[in-house]
Amino acid sequence: MRKLLAVVGTNAKFSYNRLLAKFVAQHFSDQAQIEVVEVKDLPPYSRDEAANEEVQQWREKVEAADGLIICTPEYDRAIPAALKSALEWLGLFSGANVMAGKPVMILGVSLGMMGSSNAQEDLREILLSPDLAATVLPGNEVLISYANRNFNQNTGELTSEKFIKQLDIAFAHFLDYIETGWRK
Amino acid sequence: MKILAIAGSNAEHSSNLKLLQFMQRHFAKTVEIDVRDVKGIPMFCEDAEFPKAVTELGQAIKAADALVFSTPEEQNSVPSSLKSVLEWLSYHCDALRGKPVGIISASTQPQGGVRAQNRLRTILTSNGLDCLMFNGAEYALGEANYAFDNQGNLKGPGSVKALDNYLETFMTWVQAQK
């Protein structure tokens, strides 16, 4: 089984994107070994500071994983600073780029109708920048909108059949993409 | 006219801060420029207490006639240090709403950070921040590590002329907004 990380792209105490990361880890547990990881305890990125123990662990986890599933909220039409900072710690200026060629699938939930689409676009550009040069799953956008009616408020599970179906298709594509790189 | 100029970097040696400090001296006879950076402001978290440093920054923004952001570029986008400050300013704080804002950048890359400018423009015009965006001129300083002399002055006459043009166009536009 492939080892994947489901990254919670926020430092907020409550987040539907954390619920999504947990749902993904549980829902696909028969197909991959998925660990939910947080960015909330990492220090703010600085070029002048060396990576501390938390940062080292974060970098090692990413390096060891076969792929990342990043669940991002949208703050002001971009990804949250907490997630951006965590990504900055992975790049060239923190030692070596541990993201080079790493397969990534982008997911996101929003409270409104947009489904974090602007943040997903921002994240895609960041992951493809020379500093990270990740391998991002093309297409397969999953833009989960209206979080509070698509998640069960008691169990925290994603309940929307439409979005679960989209996730199933995108995840199958992601596993295939990790194996083959979709080269023709 | 009073301009508040913010360098979007938390680095010890920032060419964006250097650029703004040069502007402060170079345009001293024309306009008052208050220069700051974003060092030491805690990471935005919606559960944390609103930092005093951001309250104070909000007051300085309100007191200024216009703002200029000089942004570094990290991973083709805005650095987390600047994004975090903007998240604070969009959360329980209305300081930037309707404020005339210009964007410039400096970068060690030849392109001068224009991609960070694009993302910053998108962020500053989002409904949480709602700035009044200046689009009449562009200024991006490329290869910034070679652009300044030992006194911190911009070396290239072309770079200075382009900066003169930027600020003149910007100030004319700010006046017209009143």
CATH code of domain A2-180: 3.40.50.360
B111: exposed, middle or buried (Cβ count in 10 Å: 0-12, 13-18, 19+): middle
Domains of chain B with bracketed CATH: 2-177 (3.40.50.360)
Whether residue B119 lies within 8 A of chain A, CB to CB, comes out as yes
- For position B102, what pLDDT does the model report? 98
- Say what the pLDDT of residue A95 is: 86
Does B123 contact chain A (CB < 8 Å)?
Answer: yes
Task: Walk along chain A (184 residues) and give the pLDDT tens digit of each residue.
Answer: 999 999 999 999 999 999 999 999 999 999 999 999 999 999 999 999 999 999 999 999 999 999 999 999 999 999 999 999 999 999 988 889 999 999 999 999 999 999 999 999 999 999 999 999 999 999 999 999 999 999 998 999 999 999 999 999 999 999 999 999 887 6
Flag if A125 and B77 touch (Cβ within 8 Å).
yes
pLDDT, one tens digit per residue, over B62-116 is 999 999 999 999 999 999 999 999 999 999 888 999 999 999 999 999 999 999 9
Residue in B closest to A86 by C-alpha: B80
Whether B72 contacts B113, CB under 8 Å: yes
Output the pLDDT for position B92: 80
Does the beta-carbon distance from A81 to B44 stay under 8 Å?
Answer: yes
Cβ separation of B115 and A78 shorter than 8 Å? no
The answer to whether the CB atoms of A78 and B83 lie below 8 A apart is yes
Amino acid code (one letter) for A153: Q
Substitution target in B80, B89, B97, B121 with the highest count of A β-carbons within 10 Å is B80
Using the Cβ of B90 and the Cβ atoms of chain A, whether some distance falls under 8 Å is answered with yes
Q: 3-state SS of chain B?
A: CEEEEEECCCCCCCHHHHHHHHHHHHCCCCCEEEEEECCCCCCCCCCCCCCHHHHHHHHHHHHCCEEEEEECCECCECCHHHHHHHHHHHCCCCCCCCCEEEEEEECCCCCCCHHHHHHHHHHHCCCCCCCEECCCCCCEECCHHHCECCCCCECCHHHHHHHHHHHHHHHHHHHHHC
Chain B from 44 to 73: CB within 8 A of any A CB = 44-47
Query: Inter-chain contact A46–B11, Cβ cutoff 8 Å?
Result: yes
Please report the residues numbered 103 through 162 in chain A whose beta carbons come closer than 8 angstroms to any beta carbon of chain B: 118, 122, 125-126, 128-129, 131-132
